[in-house]
Amino acid sequence: MMFANKKHFITAIVGALIAFSIIALVLCLVRIEDVTLPATVKYGMVFDAGSSHTSLFVYEWDSDKENDTGMVSQTLSCDVQGQGISSYTNDPPKAGDSLRECLDKALKVVPAAKQRDVPVYLGATAGMRLLREQNSSAADRVLAEVAKTLQEYPVAFKGARILTGEEEGAYGWITINYLLDSFTKYSPKSHTWVRPEAADIFGALDLGGASTQISFMPGSSVINWKEAFKLTLYGYNYNIYTHSYLCYGQNEMLKRLAKELITESSSSTRVDHPCYPKDYTETVSLSSFRTSPCTNPSDMRLTLGDRNVTLEGRGNASKCLDAIKKLFNFSACGQRQDCTFDGVYQPPISGRFIAFSAFYYNFKFLNLTKGQSLATVRETIEHFCTRSWEDLSSSYPEENPDRLPKYCANANYILTLLLDAYKFNETSWNNIIFQMKAGSASVGWTLGYMLNLTNMIPAEAPARVKGHIPSLWAAAIAFIVLTLALGLAALLLFLWV
């Protein structure tokens, strides 16, 4: 026998028992700690590199509640100084440098110990889409420089890329419905997650500097259309319609409008601008139209050198509206009702919509975000357009003087887009909510992008009860059973010997 006497044998058994008990206890403690420790806060950052400027958003959430809805909040937003990254083609390293100030600010709100785990994304939109169309190597260089800067920081940089217009639209739609809690709701009565009524799903209207997006869930009678964007969120399938119109953002629209007015004019140096306030003048160089594919003409008349043209404001609302309508090719749709312009398919609009970004900013300035009727909106815009430059600049001394003369054109553009193109009418107009924030979070594509890339919106329905860790439980139970068996064996042996 291995053991010299009974005493040694019993000592060995008791030793083994103690060892097994300690292991079992430790395993149980690990499990208990897991449940009772306060949940940790996680962070994520997204740069929205738009055509006219870049913004940084910092989000935080409770890691224990990742798969529930309405849990992510916005910690910080920061506007990057200067132009959008697509404007740095002549000096790409400056595009990267422009982001530093906001990054430094963001790192101040994230505890140092967590910074290395913070996923950082940069998404570029229509400004970079246009640059890529014009010179793809220049676009690649800008993105590479931006990535180089972000890699210098102690964060988990996940890449800089150009979003497609459809992604931009879909992520805006996800953001809105996530923030407004419309995807899934926990019903305490039936102890289960229920899908909200289809009527509680909002559509998204986004107007940027270089493109505009519309995304919504068509009515149930619309099936199998071509451009369905399929999403599975919390166990439910959504087929959403989304379309992005490049060159139909407000800045590109204004440039196209100026270009059209200049091409149609009989004068080569002074041109009437019906949308600018009376007595306001702006001088443009024809060469500026060549910097964007939206206005880069196959049009011979504009290739006649780099002369300057003076645009003279006329403050004429109805002529402004007419001039803006010419920027759309409505006749390309013929008599089709399921068509916006340029022959683009769109099912009939359905449900309520949130109109954000420039839709909101322009209407906010005009005090039109309070649910006014379409008649009131039209009247307000018409009246605003007749005000002279002197009147406007003395009435709004605080307003950016580059922006102030453009509200009339922007507002008429918004009306044309929503009514003539998307086909909202007097009644459905009341389903548009002009809103920029939900709770403390800004509405835009960035949150939806981060939610998706961090897998925070699972395809499956959320579990009601948080599961335990199966392998640890199995191990703990195995040890307890083993300990009991050994104890029993020891007892029997002891009695028998």
Ligand X SMILES: *[C@@H]1O[C@H](CO)[C@@H](O)[C@H](O)[C@H]1NC(C)=O
Inter-residue contact 56 to 69 (CB < 8 Å): no
Beta carbon nearer to ligand X, 10 or 185: 185
Beta carbon nearer to ligand X, 184 or 428: 184
Look up residue 51 and give its two tokens: 């055509």
What is the 3-state composition of the chain as percent helix, strand, coil, each rounded to the nearest 5?
A: 45, 20, 35
Buried/exposed code over 60-91 (b: 16+ C-beta within 10 A; e: otherwise):
bbeebebbbbeebbbbbbbebeebbbbbbbee
d(CA 359, CA 205): 8
Inter-residue contact 10 to 490 (CB < 8 Å): yes
Q: Which candidate, 91, 113, 100, places its Cα nearest to that of 56?
A: 100
Least Å distance, CB 210 to ligand X, is 19
- Is 168 catalytic? The answer is yes
* CA 445 and chain centroid, separation: 1
Q: Which candidate, 109, 55, 107, places its Cα nearest to that of 80?
A: 55
66, 167, 168, 252: which is the annotated catalytic residue?
A: 168
Beta carbon nearer to ligand X, 269 or 455: 455
Look up residue 384 and give its two tokens: 């605003």
Inter-residue contact 386 to 317 (CB < 8 Å): yes
Task: Give me the count of residues in the chain.
Answer: 497
Inter-residue contact 73 to 57 (CB < 8 Å): no
CB half-sphere exposure, 380, CA atoms < 13 A: 18
Least Å distance, CB 332 to ligand X, is 3
Strands in 270-273's sheet, in edge-to-edge order, are 270-273, 308-313, 281-285
Secondary structure of residue 346 in the 3-state scheme: coil
Least Å distance, CB 38 to ligand X, is 14
Beta carbon nearer to ligand X, 103 or 417: 417
Least Å distance, CB 10 to ligand X, is 46
Q: Which residues contact 199 (CB under 8 A, 6 or more apart)?
A: 351, 352
Three-class DSSP labels, 140-167: HHHHHHHHHHHHCCCCEEEEEEECCHHH
Look up residue 263 and give its two tokens: 């091409």
Least Å distance, CB 341 to ligand X, is 9
Least Å distance, CB 102 to ligand X, is 25
Encoded amino acid at 473, one letter: W
Least Å distance, CB 256 to ligand X, is 12
Encoded amino acid at 146, one letter: V
- Interface with ligand X by CB under 6 A: which residues? 64, 66-67, 89, 135, 137-138, 141, 167, 170, 231, 329, 331-332, 343, 365-367, 452-453, 455, 458, 460
Least Å distance, CB 105 to ligand X, is 28
Beta carbon nearer to ligand X, 137 or 221: 137
Look up residue 429 and give its two tokens: 């107009």
CB half-sphere exposure, 378, CA atoms < 13 A: 11
Least Å distance, CB 334 to ligand X, is 9
CA dihedral 456, 458, 464, 467 (to 10 degrees): -80
Beta carbon nearer to ligand X, 141 or 325: 141
Beta carbon nearer to ligand X, 332 or 493: 332
Residues forming the active site: 168
